Chains A and B, each alone.
Chain A
Amino acid sequence: MSPASGPSAITLRGAARRFAGYTAVQDISFEARSGRFVSIVGPSGCGKSTVLNMIAGLLAPSEGAVEIFGVPLAGINRRASYMFQQDALLPWKTVLENVRFGLDLRGCPGRQAHDEATGWIERVGLRGFADRYPYQLSGGMRKRVTMAQAWIVKPDILLMDEPFGALDVHTRLRMESEILGLWTEAKQTVVFVTHDLEEAISLADEVFVLSAGPASRIVGRYPVDLARPRDLLEVKLEPRFHELFGTIWSDLRQEVLKSYERSA
């Protein structure tokens, strides 16, 4: 899965994005090496999604460059899958049709797409739900479908934008464990955006902190040296986890306070 083209899967150099009248992010220099699980944290409204959308190719940077495996990105990032914060399943397709959608778009033979999709549906624990429509599923189940939909195309890069923000704590913990399990098998490069520092540390190899918006920048980069595989219930009890949390939080807190002041 990890390509020979170089160790850097995603590189942003001095990337900025302006929208009519304001700058969302600026001077973003960011690197994610192939196979790493990277988190981006920051106060809400700091442009985390903007950074992710630039990596996805959904937004072109107003300044600077985005490189994917050493190749400048033009248009949609074909090597990435994206798990959106909102519900992005196609409501008129069943679970099975949604999961196999990426394969169908690539012209994969029908039989093979069906079998692979069925395999993924079982893997995410939705056996027996293949013929349901999204509205018939709970929030957690819809997220499982989204996971299968993103993973089935075997992307080199997975982009996740607060994918579990809307879930209750227990469902969320289970989904995080499943994400870690899948990632441990396939070792894609993951960029996981969240405002929850605990979630960021417990999942990632590296945590980037974005400053408060507008015109957010990256203000910190912290390697997370917790051993893998991690048990998400246990890892939060480790002393090293608390040290990391304390260090990163001291930076993040200032940004959160700034963003409170600006929005107040």
Chain B
Amino acid sequence: MSGPPNRRVPIRVWQLLLAIAFLLSWEWGSRSGALDSFFFSRPSDVLVRVWGWTVTGSIWPHLMTTFVEAALSFAIGAVSGVILGFALARSSFLAALLDPFIRVGNALPRVVLAPIFLLWFGLGIWSKVALGVTVVFFVVFFNTFRGIRDVERVIVDNARMLGASERQLIRHVLIPSALTWIFSSLHVSIGLAIVAVVVGEYLGASRGVGYTIAQAEGVFDTTGVFAGMTVLAAGVLIVGAAVDRLERWLLRWKPERADAVL
């Protein structure tokens, strides 16, 4: 394991080795008593638990619930963010009028809304969706706004000289420009949507991965907590890979990725 990184060995191998080293030392630590296995569990137990959940199928409804909630919050948050972002970018009066309210809304830590949403929308999925929407909305809103405001003047002028009406300008120039920003923030907004709904589930639900984790925590089952985290991380990685592919295809005209505003 010593010596400089070898170019013939792909970075993936090194990454895998690092992960294995981490898990082995964790395993060793908890078996030798250096780590208290009550608080830290051990990788082999977590693995067995995840495997158990998978083969009995008991985890699927929870995972499904979490991802449905995240998908709904993303869809609703993105659509409302695009619409409002578009409206404000096109109307400086609206932008000036709503600016302080949007600032206040964005400054509010979204977690504090969870209890109120629980009261309003109940223990079902909609209180989590509402929380997710408040997170996704702002990311998409700011990126849409910026995308439309940042469109290059000369491209707009060129389209107008070539005969574009106001509506054609929106379709051929403004929307594609905004999409760049929206899609480059896709990772962030989907990740945040999942975080928000899991937090919502954790605070009060009858289903979902967040609920599973909260249940395990309630009985001091650290193995269950780690297993819930593992399942969630795996799910997020798979969604992330899918988003990556979609993004690469949609932004194929771009030489490199734009940085999104968070």
The smallest C-beta distance from B144 to any residue of chain A, in angstroms, reads 16
**In the complex, are the beta carbons of B255 and A105 less than 8 A apart?**
no
Partner of A105, one of B168, B176, B177: B168
**In the complex, are the beta carbons of A149 and B162 less than 8 A apart?**
yes
Q: Which residue of A lies closest to B168 (CB)?
A: A105
Q: Which residue of A lies closest to B163 (CB)?
A: A105
- Does B103 make an interface contact (CB < 8 A)? no
**In the complex, are the beta carbons of A102 and B155 less than 8 A apart?**
no
- Does A78 make an interface contact (CB < 8 A)? yes
Q: Which residue of B lies closest to A133 (CB)?
A: B253
* A89 to B162 Cα, complex, angstroms: 11
* A94 to B176 Cα, complex, angstroms: 13
**In the complex, are the beta carbons of A84 and B158 less than 8 A apart?**
yes
- Does A19 make an interface contact (CB < 8 A)? no
Tally of contact residues, B, Cβ under 8 A: 22
The smallest C-beta distance from B152 to any residue of chain A, in angstroms, reads 8
Known: A84-B154, A135-B253. A90 touches B172 (CB 8 A): yes
**In the complex, are the beta carbons of B157 and A88 less than 8 A apart?**
yes
- Chain B residues with Cβ below 8 Å from A105 are 159, 162-165, 168, 172
- Chain B residues with Cβ below 8 Å from A94 are 253
**By DSSP majority rule, is chain B's interface helix, strand, loop, or mixed?**
helix
Chain A contact patch, size range: 20 to 34
- Does B252 make an interface contact (CB < 8 A)? yes
Q: Which residue of B lies closest to A82 (CB)?
A: B161
- Does B188 make an interface contact (CB < 8 A)? no
**In the complex, are the beta carbons of B254 and A153 less than 8 A apart?**
no
- Does A60 make an interface contact (CB < 8 A)? no
Q: Which residue of B lies closest to A94 (CB)?
A: B253
- Give the contacts of A60-113 with B (CB-CB under 8 A): 76-78, 80-82, 84, 86-94, 101-102, 105-106
- Does B31 make an interface contact (CB < 8 A)? no
- Chain A residues with Cβ below 8 Å from B163 are 78, 102, 105-106, 153
- Does A46 make an interface contact (CB < 8 A)? no
- Chain B residues with Cβ below 8 Å from A106 are 163
- Does A256 make an interface contact (CB < 8 A)? no
* A149 to B155 Cα, complex, angstroms: 13
The smallest C-beta distance from A163 to any residue of chain B, in angstroms, reads 12
A-B contact pairs, 22 of them (CB 8 A): A56-B157, A58-B160, A76-B160, A81-B161, A82-B158, A84-B158, A88-B154, A88-B157, A88-B158, A90-B159, A90-B176, A91-B253, A91-B254, A92-B180, A93-B253, A101-B159, A101-B162, A101-B172, A102-B162, A102-B163, A105-B159, A105-B162
* Chain B residues packing against A (C-beta within 8 Å): 152, 154-155, 157-165, 168, 172-173, 176-177, 180, 252-255
Given A90-B176, A92-B253, A153-B163, 17 other A-B residues pairs in contact with their CB atoms under 8 A: A58-B157, A58-B160, A58-B161, A80-B161, A88-B152, A90-B159, A90-B173, A91-B155, A91-B253, A101-B162, A102-B162, A105-B159, A105-B163, A106-B163, A133-B252, A149-B162, A153-B162
